[in-house]
Amino acid sequence: SKTRKISLRYGLIDMKKIITGYLKGNYNDSSDKFETINGDSLTSWNDFSWNSKHYSTSIVIPSEFTSKIKTDGKKSIILDSKIHTITHVLVNASKILTKSESNDIDAYYENGVIHLFDNTSDGYNGCSKMIYDNFENIMNICFDLVNECDCPTDEKQKKQVLEGEEWGGCPKCTFTTNYCQTKNKKLSKKDALEFFSIFKKDKK
Ligand SMILES: [Zn+2]
Ligand SMILES: [Zn+2]
């Protein structure tokens, strides 16, 4: 069989963060009940931005998986449900492998690369180094998460997916507890499963 490889980089990345709005809601509600307020809609709003450096394991996604993404930049991830879902699952698997707290690792996608970075103010907590050193494991955990999850037939989901219908997954496999621009909507479990089944390593 043909071997498919993903190339990896470990190092410091420079990120520019811009706050362009905020979420409004009650703290004890789930985030999908929150209202998104764009700063643009407020006359008194000024975007707040800062730069920070973070250690990161950066995953170069083979171009056949990213060639359909037309625009790059911060919004591109939510336009492609495949890359979006793959990113969520990578973060979930990384949290399992590193046994870390919910926000110790975060991810962003830009120009064909998914960056899994140490999400602390000083930019280093050791998580991304563990991800780099154990990347084969990460990919296998990713595959198991989506392959072994029994959604959408899970009773608690109370939803049966019909033939041809899109299914985004569930809190046990593809949803993230980190900030998500689409609030865990517009995901594709099927596309993520397809991707991870190509790159998982057969256990010996
Ligand atoms: Zn699931
Ligand atoms: Zn998301």
Q: Indicate whether this complex's ipTM tops 0.90.
A: yes
Q: How far is the CA of 153 from the centre of ligand 2 (A)?
A: 23
Q: How far is the CA of 88 from the centre of ligand 2 (A)?
A: 6
Q: Residue range 86-108: average pLDDT?
A: 93
Are the beta carbons of 49 and 39 closer than 8 angstroms?
Answer: no
> Which of 106, 128, 117 is CA-nearest to residue 13?
117
Q: How far is the CA of 163 from the centre of ligand 1 (A)?
A: 17
In this structure, the dihedral spanned by the alpha carbons of residues 117, 66, 196 and 118, taken in order and rounded to 10 degrees, is 0
**Which residues have CB atoms below 5 A from the ion given as ligand 2?**
180
Least confident segment among 13-17, 74-78, 186-190:
74-78
3-state secondary structure of 30: coil
2: number of Cβ within 10 Å: 4
Q: How far is the CA of 181 from the centre of ligand 2 (A)?
A: 5
Confidence of residue 82 (pLDDT cuts 50, 70, 90): very high
9-66 tens-digit pLDDT: 999 999 887 888 888 888 777 777 888 888 888 888 888 888 899 999 999 999 888 8
- Domain boundary assignment for the chain: 8-13+54-199
Q: What token pair was written down for 97?
A: 């492998």
Q: Given this model, what pLDDT does residue 1 score?
A: 46
